[in-house]
Amino acid sequence: MASTGAATADAIEEEGVRRRDWIHIAAISAAGVGGVGTLFPLVSQMAPSADVLAESTTDVDVSAIQPGQSIKAVFRKQPLFVTRLTEEEIAAAKAEDAADMRDPQTLADRTNPTDESILVQLGVCTHLGCVPLGAGEGENKGEFGGYFCPCHGSHYDVAGRIRKGPAPTNLEVPEFEFTSESTIRVG
């Protein structure tokens, strides 16, 4: 009987320890997030100067991006979309190469000859700078199957070319190169 009581007490104690651990971990996590918030102004003051930032590069591992998928990265403090086009998307983009466009560019103009399936673009609408939808799974891709900017309704095609709406130019393609089969260097 006494041992059952002791076992129960142990169980309660153990549960209590688990709970305290969890609360402790949760508190550390919250403190961590708060820490980032409070650290930011300091880090911000130590941020690289504009000329250093303008020369910075971003390496992206593209090996895990499946056809039809995009990843969102950051390049020079701006959102960067890196997409692996499917065969169908490549064919669709090429079929539109000669279409009447506001900012005419072929898919080849917008990709690297090493691998035309990898599309690298700034995720910045060329109208007033909103982040277009379309790179994330399930996001609205607009009327041309690429990207849709919800701010004022710009539609880009699967190659990021402006097809409808107020944006004046295609999504910007930054300079990039393949540094290996699996990695690109942007900038």
Which amino acid, 111? T
**Under a CB-based contact definition with an 8 Å cutoff, are residues 79 and 47 in contact?**
no
Distances (CA, A) of 3 to 8, 17, 28, 111, 123: 8, 20, 36, 73, 65
127 binding ligand FES? (CB under 6 A): yes
CB of 118 to ligand FES, least distance (A): 24
DSSP 8-class letter at 83: E
CB of 170 to ligand FES, least distance (A): 13
What is the rounded CA–CA span in Å between residue 180 and residue 168?
A: 34
CB of 153 to ligand FES, least distance (A): 6
**Catalytic annotation present for 155:** no
Instruction: List the one residue from 29, 152, 179, 183 that touches ligand FES (CB under 6 A).
Output: 152
143 binding ligand FES? (CB under 6 A): no
What is the rounded CA–CA span in Å between residue 68 and residue 83?
A: 7
Q: What are the backbone angles phi and psi of residue 118, rounded to the nearest 5°?
A: -95, 115
Instruction: List the one residue from 58, 79, 130, 174 that touches ligand FES (CB under 6 A).
Output: 130
134 binding ligand FES? (CB under 6 A): no
Active-site choice (24, 127, 152, 155): 152
Active-site residue set: 152
Under the rule (CB under 6 A), what is the footprint of ligand FES?
Answer: 125, 127-130, 149, 151-154, 165-167
